[in-house]
């Protein structure tokens, strides 16, 4: 085995890992990667015919046509602790799964080069940061990781002599021959190990993304008392008062996370407000020395969905793809003759000229009846290409979070915004959130799909324990906990049109929330069973044309919708069994009572007491409905 590369590794634990990996995988050549290798690797990939140089100096790639997105059913978690088995994490005992996957990988790099990617997640010199070593046979993965994480010397320096790094093995596998059941994307969080074979795209193969930042980090965060979340981070500056406040938000996919993170304020508000981006996908959050919750984005780049991106929807994403940014586009439409790319929504009208290929490389015209770009086509660009990147992105401590937002795409019932009464209710809201499925993602169209905290695909341990951990962190923050809100930009009217314009106009909603977080008397609200909803006049609507009917529909509490929703929530919470946190149990019953009355509450209580095999503690029983609580001495009710 020959180890080459522009940087040298001295750390014995890393060297040992490299040797053992090369031996298992059968790689003859090993190359250690540094960020500075990017241009050369790009050149090699272009020469190999796998990457195309575009007219503007950016790059275009195609994935294997069967390898276009994360696949949850092939994503597993293996640990030695059976209590890590959750509802959605495909848990397997380590001894059962890991040897099997390692055996599958054995010899799969024969005749190939093994690239070693030392990556740092988080700012250098920060207690937030973590290091991983990913070995891979894919140069495409390497150049993407260089954009998404801090690669090479910076990571090794950060690690020093420590053996405390994530051990990642990635083999693409023979994608042409592979059956779906031969794909394995495995987190082994109690051994800080990641094994992946059968893909070279996105979260399946770029270990810094979901594997390290969410599954591994959240497993460790639980032990260490912090949170690793699927959240954007942004700053909102009020140029008039000088106030600069930060928020974090978790939305399931297709609910506008990247567009919100990169938003441009609407014209009427640009002279007063400035919006800063810190992250569009991942937030690591922990209590700071001042007692507040601080957030940091561990990523170094954006791996954003391309279709739909244009001047109107996301100016800053477009800026990240400008000439000179060395952006890699994957799976969009491509015209070899001119070196241009196109995707649905890039221009109002599709290109009328000839010579276009679709994302699979087949000839394409707007009349082909197919997409030019795959719906999950992506751009990979370093975050430093974002013109609105906050200087605080580099701050080793992160930024203090004033408010947390949960939300998802729902056509009705869920108002534009509501504030949860306290942090524990915020956790309850995140735990029960979800979206309505659209034609693009599921055969079962228009079904509610639960996606708690937008974390369902990224769980490494049991959901009930995860919610309890969230509650513990919030309890520790006490009065310093951020304010919690639920937003929905996607309400539709009877004519099927969106009631709210969305995009930059969403700033108006965020500003109301920040005023509420600061308890400003101007942010008036109507308190409803599901939280505080803005009074229409308390939203800043300067320069926005919206009818009062639309506005009242957006800010309406719909009791019928919520009665149904409470039944769904009871069923969901019942699936947590004995690991349903008592606090969620208690909050849920309180909300059910307010929404649906005391009989419904008793019914929900019966279901949840049965599923969780516990009695709700008397202190949390409703005063109105529990005669036992009227007893003057607590002892008498135990
Ligand atoms: O998981 S990916 O990195 O492929 C994309 C995403 O869902 O953010
Ligand atoms: Mn994501």
Q: Among candidates 47, 50, 77, which has minimal Cα distance to 62?
A: 50
Q: Atom 6 (ligand 1): residue with closest C-alpha?
A: 203
β-strands 328-330, 59-61 pairing: parallel
End-to-end Cα, the chain, rounded Å: 69
At residue 618 the predicted structure's pLDDT band, cuts being 50, 70 and 90, is low
Evaluate if residue 542 carries a pLDDT over 60.
yes
Distance, CA of 99 to CA of 108 (rounded, Å): 15
Q: Which atom of ligand 1 is nearest to the CA of 204?
A: 4
Q: Which of 145, 148, 209 to mutate to test the pocket of ligand 1 (most atoms within 8 A of CB)?
A: 209
Q: Which atom of ligand 1 is nearest to the CA of 281?
A: 8
Burial of residue 165, with CB atoms counted within 10 A of its CB: 0-12 exposed, 13-18 middle, 19 or more buried: buried
Distance, CA of 390 to CA of 234 (rounded, Å): 8
Q: Ligand nearest 304 Cα, by number?
A: 1
Distance, CA of 157 to CA of 509 (rounded, Å): 43
Per DSSP (E only), the strands in 422-574 are 434-436, 448-450, 483-487, 525-528, 531-534
Structure tokens at 112: 């190939």
Three-state secondary structure call for residue 612:
helix
Evaluate if residue 140 carries a pLDDT over 70.
yes
At residue 439 the predicted structure's pLDDT band, cuts being 50, 70 and 90, is low
Q: Among candidates 354, 276, 363, 12, which has minimal Cα distance to 160?
A: 12
- Looking at every residue in the chain, the average pLDDT score rounds to 94
Q: Atom 1 (ligand 1): residue with closest C-alpha?
A: 203
Evaluate if residue 550 carries a pLDDT over 90.
yes
Q: Among candidates 576, 459, 374, which has minimal Cα distance to 88?
A: 459
At residue 438 the predicted structure's pLDDT band, cuts being 50, 70 and 90, is low
Evaluate if residue 629 carries a pLDDT over 60.
no
At residue 325 the predicted structure's pLDDT band, cuts being 50, 70 and 90, is very high
Distance 61 CA to ligand 1 centre (A): 17
278 or 128, higher pLDDT: 278
What mean pLDDT do residues 568-573 have?
98
pLDDT, tens digit, 9 for 90 and up, residues 394-414? 999 999 999 999 999 999 999
At residue 634 the predicted structure's pLDDT band, cuts being 50, 70 and 90, is very low
At residue 375 the predicted structure's pLDDT band, cuts being 50, 70 and 90, is very high
Distance 253 CA to ligand 1 centre (A): 9
Distance 230 CA to ligand 2 centre (A): 6
Which of 67-71, 95-99, 362-366 bottoms out in mean pLDDT, i.e. has the lowest?
67-71
Q: What percent of the chain is predicted at pLDDT more than 70?
A: 95
Residues 6+ apart with CB under 8 A from 334: 52, 60, 340, 341, 342, 356, 357, 359, 361
Evaluate if residue 589 carries a pLDDT over 50.
yes
pLDDT (0 to 100) of residue 551: 97
At residue 497 the predicted structure's pLDDT band, cuts being 50, 70 and 90, is very high
Residues 6+ apart with CB under 8 A from 267: 543
Q: Which atom of ligand 1 is nearest to the CA of 206?
A: 3
Q: Ligand nearest 205 Cα, by number?
A: 1
Distance 254 CA to ligand 2 centre (A): 10
Three-state secondary structure call for residue 298:
coil
Q: Ligand nearest 206 Cα, by number?
A: 1
Q: Would you say 425 and 587 are in contact if contact means Cβ atoms under 8 Å apart?
A: yes
Burial of residue 363, with CB atoms counted within 10 A of its CB: 0-12 exposed, 13-18 middle, 19 or more buried: exposed
Q: Which of 141, 201, 230, 303 to mutate to test the pocket of ligand 1 (most atoms within 8 A of CB)?
A: 303
pTM for this predicted structure: 0.95
Q: Would you say 18 and 3 are in contact if contact means Cβ atoms under 8 Å apart?
A: yes
pLDDT (0 to 100) of residue 10: 95
Please state, as a whole number, how many other Cβ atoms lie within 10 Å of the Cβ of residue 12: 10
pLDDT (0 to 100) of residue 50: 98
Question: How many CA atoms are closer than 13 Å to the CA of 241, on its beta-carbon side?
Answer: 7
pLDDT (0 to 100) of residue 216: 98
Q: Would you say 455 and 229 are in contact if contact means Cβ atoms under 8 Å apart?
A: yes
Q: Which of 69, 194, 203, 305 to mutate to test the pocket of ligand 1 (most atoms within 8 A of CB)?
A: 203
Three-state secondary structure call for residue 116:
strand
Q: Which atom of ligand 1 is nearest to the CA of 253?
A: 7
Evaluate if residue 623 carries a pLDDT over 60.
no
Query: What lines the ligand 1 site, CB under 6 Å?
Result: 70, 202-203, 209-210, 253, 281, 303
At residue 621 the predicted structure's pLDDT band, cuts being 50, 70 and 90, is low
pLDDT (0 to 100) of residue 155: 97
Distance, CA of 598 to CA of 603 (rounded, Å): 9
245 phi, psi to nearest 5 deg:
-120, 150
Q: What percent of the chain is predicted at pLDDT more than 90?
A: 91
Distance, CA of 210 to CA of 216 (rounded, Å): 8
Q: Which of 74, 185, 281 to mutate to test the pocket of ligand 1 (most atoms within 8 A of CB)?
A: 281
Distance 60 CA to ligand 1 centre (A): 18
At residue 422 the predicted structure's pLDDT band, cuts being 50, 70 and 90, is very high
Q: Ligand nearest 70 Cα, by number?
A: 1
Distance 396 CA to ligand 2 centre (A): 23
pLDDT (0 to 100) of residue 436: 86
At residue 447 the predicted structure's pLDDT band, cuts being 50, 70 and 90, is confident
pLDDT (0 to 100) of residue 127: 80
Evaluate if residue 630 carries a pLDDT over 60.
no
Return the exposure string of 79-99: e unless at least 16 CB atoms fall within 10 Å of the residue's CB, then b. beeeebebbbbbbbebeebbe
Evaluate if residue 72 carries a pLDDT over 60.
yes
Evaluate if residue 213 carries a pLDDT over 90.
yes
Q: Which atom of ligand 1 is nearest to the CA of 305?
A: 5
| Eight-class DSSP state of 361 | S
At residue 453 the predicted structure's pLDDT band, cuts being 50, 70 and 90, is very high
- The residue with tokens 């391309």 is 306
125 phi, psi to nearest 5 deg:
60, 40
Q: Would you say 600 and 566 are in contact if contact means Cβ atoms under 8 Å apart?
A: yes
At residue 637 the predicted structure's pLDDT band, cuts being 50, 70 and 90, is very low
pLDDT (0 to 100) of residue 253: 81
Distance 105 CA to ligand 1 centre (A): 24
Distance 202 CA to ligand 1 centre (A): 6
Q: Would you say 226 and 285 are in contact if contact means Cβ atoms under 8 Å apart?
A: yes
pLDDT (0 to 100) of residue 277: 98
Structure tokens at 36: 């500075």
At residue 626 the predicted structure's pLDDT band, cuts being 50, 70 and 90, is very low
At residue 632 the predicted structure's pLDDT band, cuts being 50, 70 and 90, is very low
Could you write out the DSSP letters of every residue in 192-213? Answer: TEEEEES--SHHHH-TIIIIII
Distance 167 CA to ligand 1 centre (A): 20
Distance 346 CA to ligand 1 centre (A): 21
Q: Atom 8 (ligand 1): residue with closest C-alpha?
A: 281
| Eight-class DSSP state of 50 | S
Q: Would you say 625 and 602 are in contact if contact means Cβ atoms under 8 Å apart?
A: yes
Q: Which atom of ligand 1 is nearest to the CA of 70?
A: 4
174 phi, psi to nearest 5 deg:
-85, 90
Distance, CA of 511 to CA of 523 (rounded, Å): 9
Q: Atom 2 (ligand 1): residue with closest C-alpha?
A: 203
pLDDT (0 to 100) of residue 620: 54
Evaluate if residue 384 carries a pLDDT over 50.
yes
pLDDT (0 to 100) of residue 182: 95
What mean pLDDT do residues 583-604 have?
98
Distance 433 CA to ligand 1 centre (A): 20
Distance, CA of 318 to CA of 309 (rounded, Å): 7
Q: Would you say 400 and 292 are in contact if contact means Cβ atoms under 8 Å apart?
A: yes
Q: Ligand nearest 231 Cα, by number?
A: 2
Distance 357 CA to ligand 1 centre (A): 24
């Amino acid at each position: 085995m020959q180890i080459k590369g522009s940087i040298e590794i001295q750390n014995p634990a890393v060297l040992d890992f490299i040797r053992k990996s090369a031996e298992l995988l059968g790689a003859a050549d090993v190359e250690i990667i540094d960020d500075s290798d990017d241009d050369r690797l790009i050149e090699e990939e272009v020469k190999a015919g796998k990457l195309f140089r575009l007219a503007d100096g950016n790059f275009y790639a195609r994935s294997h046509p069967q390898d276009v997105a994360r696949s949850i059913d092939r994503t597993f978690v293996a640990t030695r602790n059976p209590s890590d088995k959750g509802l959605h994490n495909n848990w397997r005992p380590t001894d059962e799964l890991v040897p099997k996957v390692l055996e599958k990988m054995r010899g799969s790099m024969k005749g190939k080069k093994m690239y070693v990617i030392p990556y740092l997640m988080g700012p250098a010199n920060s207690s937030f940061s973590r290091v991983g070593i990913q070995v891979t046979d894919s140069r495409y993965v390497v150049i993407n990781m260089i954009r998404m994480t801090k690669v090479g010397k910076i990571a090794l320096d950060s690690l020093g002599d420590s053996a405390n790094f994530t051990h990642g093995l990635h083999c693409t596998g023979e994608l042409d021959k592979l059956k779906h059941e031969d794909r394995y994307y495995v987190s082994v969080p109690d051994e800080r190990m990641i094994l992946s074979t059968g893909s070279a795209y996105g979260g399946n193969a770029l270990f810094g993304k979901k594997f390290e930042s969410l599954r591994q980090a959240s497993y460790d965060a639980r032990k260490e008392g912090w949170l690793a979340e699927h959240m954007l981070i942004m700053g909102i500056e009020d140029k008039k008062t000088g106030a600069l406040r930060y928020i974090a938000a978790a939305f399931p996919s297709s609910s506008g996370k990247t567009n919100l993170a990169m938003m441009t304020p609407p014209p009427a508000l640009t002279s007063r407000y400035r919006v800063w981006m810190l992250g569009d996908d991942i937030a690591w959050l922990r209590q700071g020395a001042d007692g507040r919750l601080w957030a940091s984005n561990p990523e170094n780049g954006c791996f954003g969905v391309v279709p739909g991106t244009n001047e109107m929807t996301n100016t800053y994403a477009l800026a990240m793809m400008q000439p000179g940014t060395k952006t890699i586009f994957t799976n969009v439409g491509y015209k070899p003759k001119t070196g241009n790319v196109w995707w649905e929504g890039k221009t109002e009208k599709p290109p009328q000229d000839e010579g276009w290929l679709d994302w699979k490389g087949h000839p394409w015209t707007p009349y082909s009846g197919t997409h030019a770009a795959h719906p999950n086509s992506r751009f990979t660009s370093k975050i430093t290409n974002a013109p609105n990147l906050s200087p605080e992105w580099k701050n080793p401590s992160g930024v203090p979070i004033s408010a947390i937002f949960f939300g998802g795409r729902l056509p009705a019932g869920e108002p534009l915004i509501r504030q949860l009464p306290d942090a524990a209710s915020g956790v309850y809201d995140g735990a029960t959130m979800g979206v309505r499925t659209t034609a693009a993602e599921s055969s079962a169209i228009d079904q509610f799909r639960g996606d708690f905290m937008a974390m369902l695909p990224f769980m490494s341990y049991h959901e009930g324990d995860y919610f309890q951990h969230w509650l513990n962190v919030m309890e520790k923050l006490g009065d310093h906990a951020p304010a919690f809100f639920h937003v929905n930009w996607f309400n539709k009217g009877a004519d099927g049109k969106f009631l709210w314009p969305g995009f930059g106009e969403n700033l108006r909603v965020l500003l109301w929330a920040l005023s509420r977080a600061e308890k400003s008397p101007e942010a008036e609200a109507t308190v409803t069973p599901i939280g505080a909803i803005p009074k229409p006049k308390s939203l800043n609507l300067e320069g926005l044309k919206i009818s009062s009917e639309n506005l009242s529909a957006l800010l309406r509490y719909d009791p019928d919708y919520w009665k149904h929703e409470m039944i769904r929530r009871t069923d969901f919470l019942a699936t947590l069994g004995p690991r349903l946190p008592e606090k969620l149990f208690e909050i849920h019953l309180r909300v059910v009572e307010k929404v649906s009355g005391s009989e419904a509450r008793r019914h929900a209580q019966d279901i949840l007491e049965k599923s969780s095999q516990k009695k709700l503690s008397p202190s949390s029983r409703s005063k109105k409905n529990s005669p036992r609580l009227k007893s003057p001495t607590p002892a008498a009710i135990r």
